[in-house]
Structure 1
Amino acid sequence: MAMAVLIPCLIYLLFETSQLAQTYSMLQANFTRLGHVYNELKDNMNTVKHSYDSSNHTLTAVYKILNALVDRGYRACPRTWIKFQRICYHISRKLETWQEANTSCASQNATLVMVNSEAQQEFLASFDKGNRWIGLNNLQNIQSFRWVNGEPLVTGYWSSNEPDKSKAKRCVRKTVDGTWKSDQCDNRYSYICQIRSINYIIQLLNLPFPIESQL
């Protein structure tokens, strides 16, 4: 009686062992195939990285050539814009709030003007005698004014008794003598847009926008 029960159990165990062996073989084969796929993906990734590095080096060389052209006086600015050093400027005669002016400049792939040097300040003061919005603001309600690109103000060219400490005056305009005044952002003035010459060329040529290290 015991033998009659044992034999079917042995047969069942042999069958299960055979099935496990087949499953193991399949898993081992799949693992081997995955190894081959991984190696292929790794090789492809190295190829892509090499291509990217080569393209990156080529673009860096192109950007350096374009910068050299700008430095040697090539007039790379939109029509009616004025170039000083590496930057193009445009004075809009439209009267807009600060936010509207900021949006209008952005729609032209430009920004409200950002003054980062004394030479730039002197140029703008002599070139233009109007009240114009510039890209300086304190809309974030922090201790210091910042430019539209998020950079903090380093050197200010304020009028006397400026900036006004009033919380209502969070945007900045250039005055007729070139100095700056804080003002209510909803007031309407004309404004000055700027774009870097090389950025304008890059847009014309439909090139990828460079990172700072490539310029």
Structure 2
Amino acid sequence: MEEVYENVACKKHACPAPATDPRGSSSSKRRVYLAVILCLGVLSVCLLAGLIVLGVHYHISGEMAADLFVIQDQLSERLQASKDNLSSLTEERNQLKANLSQLTEEMNKLKEKTCPAGWRMSTFSCYLLSTKSGSWDQGREDCRGRGADLVVIDNDEEQKFLSAFVKGNCWIGLSDKETEGTWKWVDGTTLTLKNWDTNQPDNGGSSGKWGEEDCVQLTDSNRTIWNDFNCEKPMQWICEKGPI
């Protein structure tokens, strides 16, 4: 009943507004501020994390880009080296083709050439066994008069060919007349093929029976081996020259 009367009284007369607690309003504001600060903190952390991730990403990307540039440079160098090698191989191939063509042409020309009457042909040379005997120098003089020289034996095949038609001791174009112990062919080349007989050359040995031995012969006992002999002793000789 009292409340009813109070309400009626308030309707007739202005009643003062109920008092509010100021502490409640301050607490709400603080909570709002704290929430805002917390959100800003979270955003800051997220932003910082994002920046870190981006930095790492760009750092890794930069390293990868640098590696890619290095790899690209290496590949470019290898490609250029391959091109250079290919160019060099192409030049060598062309040179080999040219040499082969030249050799083929020379062989065809040689096939058309022949040796003079009485001479024997083998590979690219003509050979003549003398019918008379003489010293090494006389044999060489005779060969030169025929447009040839004493034979120069380059390989075993040539040696076998010569031994097939040589009948006895005969001079070949090898001597150490200029310098003792330095054997040279008449064309000036040094000795490479060596078919010396056992214990030869010996320059006459200790007995000196045959005198100083500076010239080389194919022996009668085995015409595939050589022996040094006195250059003045008479025997046949072998001449050699190119076909005509």
TM bracket (short chain): 0.5 to 0.7
Q: Does 1:194 pair with 2:240?
A: yes
Task: State the match for 2:214 in structure 1.
Answer: 170
| Residue among 114, 117, 124 paired with 1:79 | 117
The secondary structure found in structure 2 opposite 1:121 is helix
Task: State the match for 1:105 in structure 2.
Answer: 143
Q: Residue by residue, what CA displacement relative to the aligned partner does 1:114-144 show, whole Å, maximum 9, x if unpaired?
A: 1001110111112323211000001112432
| Structure 1 spans left out of the alignment, 5+ residues | 1-60, 202-215
Structure 1 runs of 4+ aligned residues shifted over 3 Å read 61-67
Alignment of 1:151-170 (within 5 A): 151-166=189-204, 168-170=212-214
- Alpha-carbon separation, structure 1, partners of 2:104 and 2:146: 24
The secondary structure found in structure 1 opposite 2:132 is strand
Displacement, 1:160?
Answer: 1.3
Alignment of 1:120-131 (within 5 A): 120-131=158-169
- Alpha-carbon separation, structure 2, partners of 1:62 and 1:121: 27
Say which structure is richer in strand. Answer: 1
- Alpha-carbon separation, structure 1, partners of 2:116 and 2:171: 20
Task: In structure 2, give the amino acid aligned to 1:143.
Answer: G
| Structure 2 spans left out of the alignment, 5+ residues | 1-100, 205-210
Contact 1:75 1:83 in 2 (8 A): no
TM-score of the pair, normalised by structure 1: 0.58
Larger Rg: 2
Q: Structure with the greater relative contact order (CA < 8 A, sep ≥ 6): 1 or 2?
A: 1
Alignment of 1:16-35 (within 5 A): none
TM-score of the pair, normalised by structure 2: 0.52
Contact 1:174 1:180 in 2 (8 A): yes
